[in-house]
Every structure is written in C-alpha cells, then in structure tokens.
Amino acid sequence: MAPNWCGCGVASANSAKLSTNGLKLSSNRFNFSKPYPRRAYRVTAYYGLTTPPYELDALEPYMSKRTVEIHWGKHHNEHVEKLNRHLKTSAFYGHTLEEMVKATYNNGSPLVEFNDASSVWSHDFFWESMQPKGGSMPTGGVLDQIEKDFGSFTNFKDEFTFASLSLFGPGWVWLYLKRNEKKLAVAPTQNAISPLVWGDIPIIGLDMWEHAYYLDYKDDRSAYVNNFLDHLVSWHSVMVRMMRAEAFVNLGEPKIPVA
Amino acid sequence: MALKSVFSRKTLAPALRHYRSVTTFTLPDLPYDYGALEPAISGEIMRLHHQKHHQTYVTNYNKALEQLDAAVSKGDAKGVVQLQSALKFNGGGHVNHSIFWQNLKPISEGGGEPPHGVLGWAIDKDFGSLEALVKKINSEGAALQGSGWVWLALDKEQKILKVETTPNQDPLVTKGASLVPLLGIDVWEHAYYLQYKNVRPDYLTNIWKVINWKYASEVYEKESA
C-alpha cells in the first residue's frame, strides 16, 4: 500500500484504511481534516506514453509506419490510459512499473491492474528492443555470452524463432537472463506475461500478438520473426541491458587477454 | 469360434493390427463467396481467415491426431498428455471456425434478419430483448483480453440461454458440458484487424448485419426439444 506520508487527504474510497494516525478521513472528495494545518496539496503522478527512440517510419520496410502508428498510438496508448484509470483507485499507486507488474501478477492469480501494467512495461521494452538498421550480429561480451549459453548465435536464433512460432494464442517471446542459473535463455509467454513475473531479467522482448504483425505480414509469422532478428533487433539495447543486469547477476570474470 | 480361426492365421495378423487408421479432417467449404459478407467483413479477411488460419488449425489438428494415435498405441502416457494442449488448440480452432462459417450469411440471403419463433421468445425471456442480448455480447466481446470467442449458448440442463466467453481456441464445452453453441463470434485480431484495426467494438457492431439467426434457431429448436 502506498503510504500517505505527505499528509494530504486521499481522494479514494480507501482513505479510511489508509489513515495512519487513527483519525477518520472523509471517504470521498478532497477533505483535509484538522491536524494538518499546512495547506496540503495532493500530488499525483501517473504514467505517460513513452515515445519510441526513433521516428515512426524508421523501421520500414520491416515494420511499417502504419503498424507502429496503430500499435503504439492505439494499443500501447490504450493500456497506458487504462492503467492510469486503475491507478486512481488502486493500492498500487506509487509503485514503480516493474514492482507493479510483479506484485499484481500475484503468483499466477493476476489482479485487475496486471494486464495493463504489464502491457505498458512490455511495450516500452519492445520499442526499445528495436532500432533502425538493427539485426545482423552482436559483438564482444554479448556475443560471447550468447555463444556460451546457446552454443552458437545460429542456435540462439533457431531457439528464438521456434519459441515464437510455438505460441498458442497471443503472447511474447523473450531473451532473458536467469538470475539463479546465471545464464541467458529464451522463453515464450502468454498474453501479457513477462519474465519480470518470475523474477528474471528481460533482455529482448518480441510482441507476438497478431496486432504486432498482421497489417504487414498477415498470417506469415515466421517472416515477421525472421525480419525482427535479421533487421530490427537492437544489439545496442541488449548490450546496455546486459551491463545493467550484471549489476545484479555475477556472470563471472571478464575475459581479459593475457599479454 | 470364428474369431479364433481368424487370429490363428498369421498372415492376416499384421494386416488386422493396422486396420484402424486415424479419421482426419478437412477444411469445410464456405457456403458463400469470400466477398459476400461485405461491407461487414471484407473479402480479404474472409479469404485469409478460411484459407490460412482455419486450414492451419485443420492441418495441425490432423498432425496432432496422428501423433496421439501413435502415442496411444505405444502406451506412451506422457506423450498422450503432452499432446492435449495441441489437440485443444487446433481441434478447438477447427470446431469453432466450422460453427462460425455457419453463423454468418450474406445480407441478400437473410443475414442479419432477427430471430423469430421459439428462439426469439427465449431471447426476450432470458435477456429482455434482442437489443439487450446484442449489447451484452458486444460488451463481453470487447472486454475479452487477448484472443478468444464470445458465444450465445443454450444450457441444455438449465434450459436457459447464456452469454459466455472462451479464451484462445477453447471450445464452448470447456465452460460447461451442457452448453450448446448457437452463435459464436471470433474476437481474435485476425478476424477483424485488416479492416477495423484496433477498434474491436466497431467489428462487433457491424457483424450483426451478417449473423445467420436461422442457423441459431435451428440448433436451438433441435437441442431444446
């Protein structure tokens, strides 16, 4: 529960429960009760629609401007708006998005906020998993780690593709870092689930809902996935995410060449 | 006994063991042209939906059935159980879409004409009016997260009409063994995206113009007898 430290009144039906000093706060409207002589302002902060780090037509011809406009401007935006509507009355107001995803997943019995919170997080992650003139191959430490954990880069691509085509119904495919095993792995997830819910660190996310590819590829999912891997995936983002992940997961000593 | 003599003939035995083969399924033909449901559903969507999506469910269902047959014959319990999700998904996809094609009809052939007779009265009894039913189906269909179907169902046991949703390609029976599908509306994105994009509510509003209430009435009268 978001603590009411600012001392301001809370415009929600939960205000009676959130009162920390036993005084009865009014259950609706902005009613500030007496022990708070200062003028208390209610500060609220909701989520915004983050812009992809490239122009909407920059991923052509592998992802059309039309698809990005609708996918980002309508689907992703709708999730942001629905999440904010939930947050007006949700106990999870004040959580970071990652915390909210894990908490609202509720170990498999997701709460009402989960779908929108997780979709917002995953779509932000998705746009940043791609870049214009992406694809080809990673280099350096990322390539080393992939070769270590998958055998070869081609094996990784095959596993990723197989996972994406194995989905029954809408979902996502992830390259993620397992905290406990300290290795990279690929997994498909259903609907809005992401590796955040089981505590691992996502590195690449690919949206396999039909709205992500239908306008450009119709039912040809393998063309969509192949183009993603060959031309869109941002190995730069992967490198940055791996660097961040290594602050939490010890992947061993770096390979420093010996003179 | 006749049986004993048959089984003692070693030459016949191998043939007898393989006499049973898997009944496979084929893609049913549409009872109308791809473009016949326009402007409610575009010809492009109907063609892709039928020739690609439904065909894939049929193909994969047949594959899963062959694998199931092999696993059953070998007594491979783990294999049999592992195939269940593929069977439910692809078999369900085939079952659901086969019903769906019957649920639609071109306007020129009576699509969209409201139900009369017994089903009409049942709708008024259980939902108040046809408008109320349509509103309920549309709101449940629009609210469905992800992919799935929204159904008008007859509960044979309770003798009442119900609106149900199922996720992905789960057939209606997964919601209740006594439920009979009268109408099913596919709310997977492939069913409307090329035409309606993300505006699923518009698809749901427009599909009623081509809904085949005659088929629903026939099923209702047969199953509630």
Q: Examine the pLDDT at A31 and tell me if it is beyond 90.
A: no
Are the beta carbons of B147 and A210 separated by less than 8 Å?
Answer: yes
Report the alpha-carbon distance of residue B152 to residue B137 in Å, rounded.
8
pLDDT at A40: 59
Both tokens of residue B219? 């099923």
Q: How far is A124 from chain B (nearest CA, A)?
A: 18
DSSP for residue A230 = I
Report the alpha-carbon distance of residue A133 to residue B16 in Å, rounded.
61
A72, B23, B118, B142 from A67: Cα distances, Å: 8, 41, 46, 21
Buried-state track B54-89, b at ≥16 Cβ within 10 A, e below 16: bbebbbbbbebbebbeebeeeeeeeebeebeebbbb
B70-109 pLDDT, tens digit per residue, is 999 999 999 999 999 999 999 999 999 999 999 999 999 9
Q: Which residues contact B192 (CB under 8 A, 6 or more apart)?
A: B41, B45, B200, B203
Report the alpha-carbon distance of residue A119 to residue A128 in Å, rounded.
14
Please state, rounded to an integer, the average pLDDT across all residues of chain A: 87
B145-167 pLDDT, tens digit per residue, is 999 999 999 999 999 999 999 99
Task: Give A237 or A32, the one with higher predicted confidence.
Answer: A237
Q: Which residues of B touch A168 (CB under 8 A)?
A: 85-86, 89, 168-169
pLDDT at A254: 72
pLDDT at A12: 41
| ipTM, two decimals | 0.88
pLDDT at B8: 46
ω before A52 within 30° of 0 (cis)? no
Please state, rounded to an integer, the average pLDDT across all residues of chain B: 92
Q: Examine the pLDDT at A253 and tell me if it is beyond 90.
A: no
A153, A185, A247, A254, B159 from A250: Cα distances, Å: 22, 16, 7, 10, 62
CA closest to A208 among chain B residues: B146
Q: What is the longest distance spanned by two Cα atoms in chain B?
A: 69
Q: Which residues of A are annotated as a binding site for Mn(2+)?
A: 71, 123, 207, 211
Q: Which 3 state secondary structure label does DSSP give B164?
A: strand
Q: Examine the pLDDT at A43 and tell me if it is beyond 90.
A: no
Q: Examine the pLDDT at A257 and tell me if it is beyond 50.
A: yes
CA closest to A76 among chain B residues: B198
Are the beta carbons of B145 and A191 separated by less than 8 Å?
Answer: yes
CA closest to B199 among chain A residues: A74
CB pairs under 8 A between A and B: 51
pLDDT band, very low/low/confident/very high, at A256 (cuts 50, 70, 90) = confident
pLDDT at A30: 54
pLDDT band, very low/low/confident/very high, at A63 (cuts 50, 70, 90) = very high
- Please state the three-class secondary structure of A123-190 as a single string: HHHHHHCECCCCCCCCCHHHHHHHHHHHCCHHHHHHHHHHHHHCCCCCEEEEEEEECCCCEEEEEEEE
Are the beta carbons of B198 and A75 separated by less than 8 Å?
Answer: yes
Are the beta carbons of B193 and A215 separated by less than 8 Å?
Answer: yes
Q: Which residues of A are annotated as a binding site?
A: 71, 123, 207, 211
Q: Which of A5-19, A88-102, B26-40, B54-68 has the lowest mean pLDDT?
A: A5-19
pLDDT at A41: 62
Q: Examine the pLDDT at B6 and tell me if it is beyond 50.
A: no
A13, A76, A77, A224 from A123: Cα distances, Å: 31, 6, 10, 17
Are the beta carbons of A210 and B188 separated by less than 8 Å?
Answer: yes
Are the beta carbons of A211 and B53 separated by less than 8 Å?
Answer: no
The stretch A120-138 carries a mean pLDDT of 97
